Amino acid sequence: MALLGGAAVGLPFAARAQQPAKLPTIGYIGSSVLLVDSPRDVAFLQRLRELGWVEGRTVAIEYRWAENRMERYAEIAAEFVRLKVDVIVAFGTAVPALKQATSVIPIVFTIDGDPVGRGLVASLARPGGNVTGLSAQSTDLVGKRLEILREVLPGLRRLAVMANGGFPGAVQEMGEVQAAAGKLGLQVATSVIRRAEDIAGAFDALNGRADALYVCGDLLAFTNRIRINTLAQGVRLPTIYVTREYVDAGGLMSYGVNYPDLFRRAADFVDKILRGAKPADLPVEQPTKFDFVINLVAAKALGLTVPRMLLARADEVIE
């Protein structure tokens, strides 16, 4: 009896002694859903493994998906604070909500068009606070996209620009497009949308007023990319976008940063932070890889001939 009683008393202490130490935890926010974000997520996880962080062995990851709804960011941020994660990884669009929720937990943004202008960091070289990550060089890319449009449409005179007026990043990009177009002598017709129901009316208003359409990137446009492409084809407007997903959905062209590469590099920030570095001491980095994608199926439907030299420069041509 005494032996059994002693053994019973000792069991809880032995069990506690054998419990593994709590793994460092990453709070990972996908802007969309798992299926859409997959290539980016894979690049992030692969780089983490290369750096010695194996999910379930040396690190834990709490995944949350915003499902293309910006209001989800605040909910997820509050949850991560309750969970006391060690670092949070997210798109720049989520950072304002994350900063409101915590000034302590390190935050790594995978991409943002203008992190200084939007107040995410104090400067690229010295971010300050608990936030750092990767910038998209949006101003430079806007000019490049307009150059590409002019190569496909030498007679381009009138440009339509569509942006979500409820998203500061898209509004800022629209301003950059207007400035760059002005330098090229282009007339600009702006189209501001705030919800999916505004898109059809926006195309009705643009019909006959533009030679091409530039769509500023954000969750609203991304979620409705098939509808936007269908309506653009209906009014015979060639389109240019910020990422290849729009072209996969029927758009004409895209030029922008290579997202999987940025997510891969975001893992390096996470590695340094988990090993003791402070976000304030990690400079915001610039993209080094860019994707130029052309959809010849869309070009044919619009009656356009894409110059051979431009096709040769493309990273991918959809036929």
Question: Which structural domains are found in the chain, ordered by start?
Answer: 22-136+258-289 (3.40.50.2300), 138-257+291-318 (3.40.50.2300)
Which pLDDT score is estimated for 89?
Answer: 98
The CA–CA distances, whole Å, from 87 to 48, 126, 145, 251 equal: 13, 19, 34, 36
Please check the confidence at residue 15 and state whether its pLDDT lies above 90: no
Please check the confidence at residue 8 and state whether its pLDDT lies above 60: no
Listed residue (186, 207, 195) closest to 142, CA to CA:
186
Which pLDDT score is estimated for 33?
Answer: 62
Amino acid at 211: D
Neighbouring C-alpha atoms within 13 Å toward the C-beta of 88: 32
Contact 137, 117 (CB under 8 A): no
Which pTM value belongs to this model?
0.83
Cα separation, 283 vs 54, whole angstroms: 26
Which pLDDT score is estimated for 7?
Answer: 40
Contact 126, 156 (CB under 8 A): no
Give how far the C-alpha of residue 103 lies from the chain's centroid of Cα atoms, to the nearest Å.
Answer: 22
- Mean of all residue pLDDT scores within the chain: 90
Query: pLDDT tens for residues 240-295?
Result: 999 999 999 999 999 999 999 999 999 999 999 999 999 999 999 999 999 999 99
Query: pLDDT tens for residues 18-44?
Result: 445 789 999 999 876 655 557 888 999
% of the chain with per-residue pLDDT over 70: 92
Which pLDDT score is estimated for 71?
Answer: 86
The residue assigned the tokens 């605040």 is 74
Listed residue (43, 290, 309) closest to 144, CA to CA:
290
Lowest mean pLDDT among 67-81, 146-160, 190-204, 289-303: 67-81
Please give the average per-residue pLDDT across 6-17, as a whole number: 41
Query: pLDDT tens for residues 174-215?
Result: 999 999 999 999 999 999 999 999 999 999 999 889 999 999
Question: Cα dihedral sign for 87, 79, 46, 256?
Answer: negative
% of the chain with per-residue pLDDT over 90: 77
Phi, psi of 171 (to 5 degrees): -65, -40
Instruction: Report residue 16's pLDDT band, with 50, 70 and 90 as the boundaries.
Output: very low
